Structure 1
Amino acid sequence: MPKLWNETIEAHRRAVRDAILESTAELAAEHGVRSVTMSQIAEKAGIGRATLYKYFSDVESILLAWHERQITGHLGYLVEVRDQADGTYERLAAVLEAFALVSREFRGHHGTELAALLHRDEQVAHAQQQLHDMVRDLVAEGAQAGEFRDDVAPDELATYCLHALTASGALSSDAAVHRLVEVTFSGLRASGHAQVDRKPTARHEGHSHRPHRPDH
């Protein structure tokens, strides 16, 4: 089979799969996970039920595939945010704020029922470990530089940060998220460090109040 034909077929399959994932997530957010049927998904995605079943066997498998795509995208975004910032303090602040805002956006768009279902996904544990390791390594680097406290293990501080900022999913505004990030970040600072103004993150330009950097 010609290469161009193969690429065209694969592109079509990806487009159909994406349409299925997006349609299912939208229906779940609008009507609740338990109310969504395969017939509804097929209709919204603009395909036949027989075609839908060629891709997925049930609604839950679709949601898990959608979630895996979301996780990959979110982790990629957090890595990008980390790598765009200068200095350990800036990188950790950027990652924590981005994580908190993403958590709020997910809960706000998709609700607690979907979040509860997807929490059982084994991909979640793997992603959480990757994020935990990212935060732990930044904390350890900052502690060595004297920017973060060194009386608590970086592994414990990473756990503290991520658990605290998961609560951002229940907050009502980005401003509340920024305040929670500031409070959480204050627990990391080495004693005797003051605060100075900081630049906003790229994704939320003009709305960010990332934690203030200590004045050495």
Structure 2
Amino acid sequence: MPKLWNETIEEHRRAVRDAVLETTAALVSEHGVRAVTMSQIAEGSGIGRATLYKYFPDIESIMMAWHERQIASHLDQLAELRDRSGTPGERLEAVLETYAFIQQQRHGHGGELSALLHRGGHVAHAEQHLRHFIRGLLAEAVQAGEVRDDVAPDELTGYCLHALAGAGGLSSKAAVRRLVAVTLSGLRSAR
């Protein structure tokens, strides 16, 4: 097949897949994961059920694909903040604040949905990736004298991630920002 034809087919498949993921996420958010059917997803996506089954065997696999895409998007967003210009401390603050807001949004997943989404290996891989790059940013901030040097960056990474997981229970942006400020104050040198 010519290259243009292949690109057109891939674009179409990607568009169908994206429509299925978005439709499913919206339906699950509105009705709950157990109340959604493959027929509703197909109809909402503008495709037939047979076509839907060519892409995904069941709702669980659709939700897992949606979650993988969400995680990848969050990691890309955090990496972009980490890689921008500024001091290591400024970049660390931007990454930690954004991570805290992601945690706050994630709290909207119901217990059943959260259990479904977080049992895949993709979550553990993403957490490892996140730990690695926050640790690297903390190490840079230690070298620049912006973060305490009496605690190893690995330990500080755990501190940050665990502290900011608390943002999941916060209802306002102001509360999330206060949590980030408290977390950052714990990173500063005691000298």
TM-score range, shorter chain: over 0.9
The aligned residue for residue 126 of structure 1 is: 125
Query: Are 1:179 and 2:178 matched, yes or no?
Result: yes
Q: Which residue pairs with 2:63 in the alignment?
A: 63
Corresponding residue for 2:100? 100
Question: For the residues of structure 1 that align with 2:112 and 2:163, how far apart are their CA atoms?
Answer: 21
Q: How many pairs were matched up?
A: 191
Alignment correspondent of 1:50? 50
Q: TM-score, normalised by structure 2?
A: 0.94
Matched, 1:12 2:5: no
Residue 168 of structure 1: aligned partner: 167
C-alpha displacement of 1:71 = 1.1
In structure 2, the gaps of 5 or more residues are none
Mark the CA change 1:53 to 1:73 in structure 2 (over 3 Å): closer, same or farther: same
| Contact 1:101/1:168 (<8 A) preserved | yes
Flag the structure with more relative contact order, 1 or 2, with Cα contacts below 8 A and sequence separation at least 6: 2
Between the aligned partners of 1:82 and 1:159, the Cα distance in structure 2 is 18
Q: Give the aligned partner of residue 2 of structure 1.
A: 2
The answer for unaligned runs of 5 or more in structure 1 is 193-216
Map of 1:203 onto structure 2: none
Alignment of 1:10-159 (within 5 A): 10-108=10-108, 110-159=109-158
Q: Is the 8 A contact 1:85 1:94 kept in 2?
A: no
TM-score (norm 1): 0.83
Q: Which amino acid aligns with 2:48?
A: G
Q: CA deviation at 1:112?
A: 4.1
Q: What percentage of residue pairs aligned between the two structures are identical?
A: 66
Q: CA deviation at 1:113?
A: 3.3
Q: Distance in 2 between matches of 1:107 and 1:140?
A: 29
Q: Distance in 1 between matches of 2:33 and 2:159?
A: 31
Secondary structure of 2:150's aligned partner? coil
Separation in structure 2 between the aligned mates of residue 86 and residue 179 of structure 1, nearest angstrom: 22
Task: Report the residue type matching 2:77 in the other structure.
Answer: Y
Computed over aligned residues only, the root mean square deviation of the Cα atoms, in angstroms, reads 1.4
Secondary structure of the 1:191 match is coil
Structure-2 separation of matches of 1:121 and 1:160: 24
Structure 1 runs, 4 residues or longer, greater than 3 Å off: 110-113
| Offset at residue 38 of structure 1 (A) | 0.9
